[in-house]
Amino acid sequence: MFLKKSYISLLILSSFIIFIKCRKKEDINSSFTTTPYNLSIPENFPEFEAPNDNPLTVEGVKLGRHLFWETKLSGNNLMSCGTCHSPQSAFSDANQYSQGINGDIGKRNSMVLQNLAWANDFFWDGRVISLEEQILMPVMDSTEMDETWSHFFEEIKYDNQYRKLFYDAFQTTEPDSTHAAKAIAQFLRTMISGNSKYDRVLNDPSVSFTPMENAGFDSFNSLTGGDCFHCHGGILGTDFSYKNNGLDENPVDTGRGLVSGNSNDYYKFKVPSIRNIEYSAPYMHDGRFQTLDQVIHFYSVGVHSNSPNVDPLMEFSQQGGVQLNPNEREELKAFLLTLSDSAFINNPNFSNPH
Ligand code: HEC
Ligand code: HEC
């Protein structure tokens, strides 16, 4: 009898709690709104469409920025995404290889984060095909941030600022890695660089190249000059393909081949954009070149025509490269330096908010 009574009162109590919970949820639903983020796309850039399941919102981008700079996302609470993707290096790493929290040295040079809204696959070998998916990886990688997402959410469970940020962005009081990845992806998609001198020359009749920059521009786009445009042409400075530009006779990193399993893809790497190239040293997937002079020297006389799968568009590889003389190399460099967008790397919207 006693048992039964308490059972009934428990039932009443629990239905009351459920009632309150439901009520609360209803209130929440009716009041929840996000603000669409108005992405400003530079002139001449392709159109941008966000994935259907992750539209850009002011609240999502704000949360993403906090997470991008959050050191709690690493096992020792000392490393954030920004550690290896530093603004002054066009959101890459000035070190040849980045060091993880346990002292592990990576195998590839960190990549520039810019104009990712137009990229379809990620990493030097393109092994991941969505930004949302890519973002989960460095956190869990034991050689990088070495943290579990569940531990991170434990750590911030009682952090009122994060509770609000997640709630405002996704209307959830129980956020998980999917929410975090969506938010960081939104933030990364706002990181657009399209305000270099090159852009101003294209869009503003009152701005023009110096004669030297102009000669470099012609060389970049000419078969008889630097011949760079095949791969680094177009407004984004890359054709987003995977190619072997002939760095080594016996390459060590298999690159794209390991991802596709296709023997024709061995030793190919993502063509990186030449935008903001002034800031993003060192260069190539293994960060082997410290300066643009070394890069241009390589394309002039250092190309290995016998590198396996060397790209046919490296048209002068048989003679070691495009054979630019010292003056022509300076001209080409002058043009490459017009692709620097200092407003991008100094944009206060991308800096550490903590
Ligand atoms: C320990 C250094 C390190 C940390 C920390 C790090 N990254 Fe990276 N990131 C790299 C390296 C190195 C690569 C290239 C790896 C490769 O291709 O194998 C890369 C590549 C990327 C790319 C691919 C870009 C492209 O054009 O394909 C994105 C996006 C990116 N990182 C975002 C992030 C985000 C977001 C975080 C934080 C959650 C983060 N990274 C943390 C080192 C780091
Ligand atoms: C056949 C395509 C192709 C041509 C032509 C080409 N590149 Fe590249 N470029 C690449 C690829 C692929 C990489 C990355 C290679 C790697 O890391 O293994 C690269 C890397 C670079 C980098 C390093 C970027 C970074 O973020 O590390 C610079 C700078 C560069 N190229 C400039 C040039 C210039 C200047 C020319 C003309 C003289 C040129 N490229 C011609 C395909 C090409």
Are 215 and 334 members of one domain?
yes
Which two three-digit tokens encode residue 30?
A: 């009716």
Are 153 and 279 members of one domain?
no
Q: Which atom of ligand 2 is nearest to the CA of 255?
A: 18
Residue at 174 is within a domain: yes
Are 322 and 302 members of one domain?
yes
Residue at 16 is within a domain: no
Domain termination site, one of 161, 192, 223: 192
What pLDDT shows up at residue 27?
A: 46
What pLDDT shows up at residue 26?
A: 42
Q: Which atom of ligand 1 is nearest to the CA of 121?
A: 27
Residue with tokens 């969505």: 130
Distances 272 to 14, 123, 141, 191, 343 between C-alpha atoms, Å: 59, 10, 23, 16, 20
Ligand nearest to the CA of 297: 2
pLDDT in tens, 58-116: 999 999 999 999 999 999 999 999 999 999 999 999 999 999 999 999 999 999 999 99
Residues 296, 333: contact at Cβ < 8 Å?
Answer: yes
Are 177 and 256 members of one domain?
no
- Whether residue 100 has its Cβ less than 6 Å from ligand 1: yes
Is pLDDT above 70 for 321? yes
Residue at 209 is within a domain: yes
Are 285 and 220 members of one domain?
yes
Number of Cβ within 10 Å of residue 17's Cβ equals 10
Distance (Å, rounded) from C-alpha 124 to C-alpha 284?
9
Ligand 2: residue whose CA is nearest its atom 41: 228
Which two three-digit tokens encode residue 61?
A: 């981008």
Ligand nearest to the CA of 82: 1
pLDDT in tens, 239-259: 999 999 999 999 999 999 999
Residue with tokens 């000035």: 94
- Length of the chain counted residue by residue: 354
Residues 202, 275: contact at Cβ < 8 Å?
Answer: no
Distance 98 CA to ligand 1 centre (A): 10
Domain termination site, one of 155, 176, 192: 192
- Measured over the CA atoms of residue 261, residue 265, residue 267 and residue 271, the dihedral's sign is negative
Ligand 2: residue whose CA is nearest its atom 40: 228
Are 140 and 215 members of one domain?
no
Burial label for 244, CB within 10 Å (0-12, 13-18, 19+), is: buried
Residue, of 268 and 32, whose pLDDT is higher: 268
Are 219 and 234 members of one domain?
yes
Ligand 1: residue whose CA is nearest its atom 15: 123
**Number of compact structural domains in the chain:** 2
Are 162 and 253 members of one domain?
no
Distances 266 to 253, 260, 262 between C-alpha atoms, Å: 9, 9, 7
Q: Residue 69 contacts by C-beta under 8 Å, 6 or more apart in sequence?
A: 80, 81, 82, 352, 353, 354
Q: Residue 138 contacts by C-beta under 8 Å, 6 or more apart in sequence?
A: 81, 84, 144, 145
Distance 285 CA to ligand 1 centre (A): 12
Q: Which atom of ligand 2 is nearest to the CA of 253?
A: 18
Residue, of 8 and 114, whose pLDDT is higher: 114
Distance (Å, rounded) from C-alpha 70 to C-alpha 74?
8
What pLDDT shows up at residue 31?
A: 76
Residue at 72 is within a domain: yes
Is pLDDT above 70 for 30? no
The whole domain housing 148 covers 58-192
Per-residue confidence band for 350, with pLDDT thresholds at 50, 70 and 90: very high
Ligand 2-lining residues (CB < 6 angstroms): 112, 226-228, 230-232, 243, 245, 247, 269, 271-272, 274, 277, 280, 283-285, 295-296, 299, 311, 313-314, 322, 332
Are 206 and 326 members of one domain?
yes
Distance (Å, rounded) from C-alpha 244 to C-alpha 231?
11
Distance 206 CA to ligand 1 centre (A): 38
Residue at 292 is within a domain: yes
What pLDDT shows up at residue 14?
A: 54
Distance 288 CA to ligand 2 centre (A): 13
Distance (Å, rounded) from C-alpha 76 to C-alpha 100?
10
- Whether residue 184 has its Cβ less than 6 Å from ligand 1: yes
- Whether residue 152 has its Cβ less than 6 Å from ligand 1: no
Are 175 and 202 members of one domain?
no
What pLDDT shows up at residue 5?
A: 53
Ligand 1: residue whose CA is nearest its atom 41: 81
Does pTM surpass 0.85? yes
Residue at 33 is within a domain: no
Distance (Å, rounded) from C-alpha 198 to C-alpha 204?
10
Distance (Å, rounded) from C-alpha 311 to C-alpha 234?
19
Ligand nearest to the CA of 114: 1
Residue with tokens 């407004």: 235
Residue at 87 is within a domain: yes
Pocket test for ligand 2, best of 125, 222, 295 (most atoms within 8 A of CB): 295
Is pLDDT above 80 for 10? no
Are 203 and 331 members of one domain?
yes
Ligand nearest to the CA of 109: 1
Residue, of 173 and 16, whose pLDDT is higher: 173
Number of Cβ within 10 Å of residue 1's Cβ equals 5
Per-residue confidence band for 20, with pLDDT thresholds at 50, 70 and 90: very low
Distance (Å, rounded) from C-alpha 354 to C-alpha 352?
6
Amino acid, single-letter form, for residue 56: L
CATH code at 309?
1.10.760.10
Ligand 1: residue whose CA is nearest its atom 11: 110
Q: Residue 244 contacts by C-beta under 8 Å, 6 or more apart in sequence?
A: 251, 255, 267, 268, 269, 307, 308, 309, 310, 311
Distance (Å, rounded) from C-alpha 316 to C-alpha 331?
19
Residue with tokens 């998609």: 189
Residue at 3 is within a domain: no
pLDDT in tens, 183-219: 999 999 999 999 999 999 999 999 999 999 999 999 9
Residues 313, 243: contact at Cβ < 8 Å?
Answer: yes
Distance 125 CA to ligand 1 centre (A): 12
Q: Residue 176 contacts by C-beta under 8 Å, 6 or more apart in sequence?
A: 149, 153
Ligand nearest to the CA of 274: 2
Are 219 and 265 members of one domain?
yes
Q: Residue 211 contacts by C-beta under 8 Å, 6 or more apart in sequence?
A: none
Distances 52 to 56, 61, 182, 329, 330 between C-alpha atoms, Å: 10, 16, 12, 45, 46
Domain termination site, one of 150, 177, 192: 192
